[in-house]
Structure 1
Amino acid sequence: MSAVLIAKDSKVTLHFTLTLPDGNVIDSTLERGHPGSFTMGDGTLLSGFEAALVGLKAGDKHSAEVTPEGAFGQPNPNNVQTFPREQFKDMELELGLMLSFADASQSELPGVVKRITDEVVEVDFNHPLAGKTITFDVEIVDVA
């Protein structure tokens, strides 16, 4: 009997660790103590992470460098917005503070404070990992 290889629509159970180039761990199933499961192509994983899994089988360990284009994208300068300081009247602001805004459809939109002056507050709505290459270390537990 041959091993089932990961392909589109495969049900995959795996342990993974996501690491930045400086060695900081972003996320890991090992820290949670149980593997994650998903179906290839269901949108759970970003394209670069899925592409790194194709052809692997249960028991395989693999490490892949996923570029920003396959992960969280490149930062978009249009996603940095400037607001009048008075809009944040009584708030205690500091650089790096994550704020929650409502978009046009009233969905939550997180933004990070990048600059504060007496007149304006600059907020970056890019994903915090935009522009980063991510190391994706996986151990495949099961493929169905």
Structure 2
Amino acid sequence: MTIDKIIQANSSILVHITMKLSDGSAADSTKVNNKPAKIIMGDQSISAAFETQLLGMPVGSSKEFTLEAVDAFGETNPDNIHYMDIDKFSAEVPAKVGNIITFSQPGGELPGMIKEVNGSSVTIDFNHPLAGQPVTFVIDLVEIL
């Protein structure tokens, strides 16, 4: 463990991230598959509030902090809720509440969760599943690249 290496504004880092919901339950963790996440500080892939929490962390250290929805995965955006006709679904890809369906888009794939089936209308939510809620993060700094 090297204490003299700390995260700076332009660092590239490898971290294990565990996310917990407000009830304390784990939502996700990179430790499950033992594959730490790479974060490039300053590339705007994470919020400024998240980056501020990481600055100054030494290699080998851990930190736990909670971010409000706006600084975690954002607020729920009503524009990300779409409606499709039930005939677009099949036995292989059923329109069942709770199912996550991946749709092909020009920029890649976009997952959406089926929130409601009402007659022939299927409501699909393309917001991040953790949008609209505070998230507690546990960060374990593995390496500064």
| Residue aligning to 2:137 | 136
- TM-score normalised by length of structure 2: 0.78
1:59 Cα shift?
4.1
| Residue aligning to 1:40 | 41
Cα distance in 2 for partners of 1:108, 1:35 equals: 22
1:1-144 correspondence to structure 2 within 5 Å: 3-33=4-34, 35-43=36-44, 45-88=46-89, 90=91, 91-103=93-105, 105=106, 107-143=108-144
Residue identity over aligned pairs, in percent, reads 32
1:26 Cα shift?
2.4
Cα distance in 1 for partners of 2:90, 2:15 equals: 47
1:44 Cα shift?
5.0
Equivalent position SS for 1:32 = coil
Equivalent position SS for 2:49 = helix
Which of these two proteins has the greater Rg computed from alpha carbons? 1
Cα distance in 1 for partners of 2:104, 2:37 equals: 30
1:66 Cα shift?
1.4
TM-aligned CA distance change 1:26 to 1:47, over 3 Å: farther
1:92 Cα shift?
2.8
Cα distance in 2 for partners of 1:84, 1:33 equals: 40
Greater shift in the superposed pair: 75-84 or 35-44: 35-44
RMSD of Structure 2 on Structure 1 (CA): 2.6
The one-letter amino acid paired with 2:7 is: I
Cα distance in 2 for partners of 1:32, 1:66 equals: 24
Cα distance in 1 for partners of 2:5, 2:64 equals: 20
Unaligned runs of 5+ in 1: none
Cα distance in 1 for partners of 2:113, 2:66 equals: 26
| 8 Å Cα contact 2:86/2:95 also seen in 1 | no
| 8 Å Cα contact 2:101/2:112 also seen in 1 | yes
- TM-score normalised by length of structure 1: 0.79
TM-aligned CA distance change 1:93 to 1:142, over 3 Å: closer
1:88 Cα shift?
2.5
Equivalent position SS for 2:115 = strand
1:75 Cα shift?
0.6
Q: Structure 1, residues 36-72: CA drift from partner, whole Å, max 9, x if none?
A: 4433224554443322101222343321101211121
Unaligned runs of 5+ in 2: none
